[in-house]
Amino acid sequence: MPELPEVEVSRMGITPHVQNQVVTKVNIYNASMRWPVPDDVYQLEGLIVTSIERRAKYLLLHCELGSTILHLGMSGNLRVVDKSEPLKKHDHVEFIFGNGKALRLNDPRRFGCCLWQEPGEVHKLLSKLGPEPLTDDFFAKRVYEQSRNKKVPVKQFIMDNAVVVGVGNIYANESLFKAGIHPKREAGKVSLKRYQALIPIIKDTLAAAITQGGTTLKDFAQSDGKPGYFAQELLVYGRKGKPCMTCENELEEIRLGQRSTIFCSNCQK
């Protein structure tokens, strides 16, 4: 599943081709996605996309009458192509612009979505989300206070979208390793001092991934719409059984919340 940095780089990639452009046509080829694509999305026709915002792993195309909400699900991607380019299998929704470009949502498994948000309202999918991780609203004391009496493992706690959005499995593994915190430690037993170390690490890890993705992104209109997991050296994720890069202890794997969790039992306590 695309994580926050991948979605942010998708936003960066489509923005030059979509922002301030008139939507001349909306085509819904398959409305049966995770939730049915509402006819409200057709309201974009004839309007200018004033901005593209990312909220958690959702992208919002804003216009004066509302916003289209896009999510890539497990396997989806967005492509910017010339409007004359033939459709691909699993191209479910298409927005055609006055500059001759088309933005297409392709999703083989149809776990993504294309929904509508009325102006001045917050869609129910977005209404209970926690703060963005790269903002000042995500800080150690707040997280520490939220964690009190929580028996859930700290890894699952920081992946809870009510606590903070967008800290997915890869970046949770990496951040906890860098902070020296065992992923199974109860969130409520992590001290304020350790959260004060962890939160900046989460921010730096996500920011570095976004920067790496941005530098590898050339012309999104010529790409396949899959920024992927960027060419970065992951310290623990995907390295089960390999030596820890700090102490050379063999990295272990457990399952937490049905997610692969890699850690070093020597470095993480």
The total number of structural domains in the chain stands at 2
Question: What is the spatial distance between Cα 67 and Cα 105, in angstroms, rounded to a whole number?
Answer: 16
Q: How far is CA 72 from CA 65, 69, 218, in A?
A: 23, 10, 21
Is 109 a known ligand-binding residue?
yes
pLDDT at 111: 94
Residue-wise pLDDT tens digits, 23-63: 999 999 999 999 999 999 999 999 999 999 999 999 999 99
Domain that holds residue 25: 4-117
Number of alpha carbons in the 13 Å side-chain half-sphere of residue 195 = 21
Q: Is 17 annotated as a binding residue?
A: no
Q: Was 104 annotated as part of a binding site?
A: no
Report yes or no on whether pTM surpasses 0.85: yes
Show which residues are catalytic. Answer: 2-3, 57, 259
| Within a domain: 165 | yes
CB 132 within 8 A of CB 115: no
Q: Are residues 90 and 154 in the same domain?
A: no
Looking up residue 147, the CATH number of its domain turns out to be 1.10.8.50
CA distance 264 to 238: 13
Quick one: DSSP state of residue 194?
Answer: H
146 near 195, Cβ under 8 Å? no
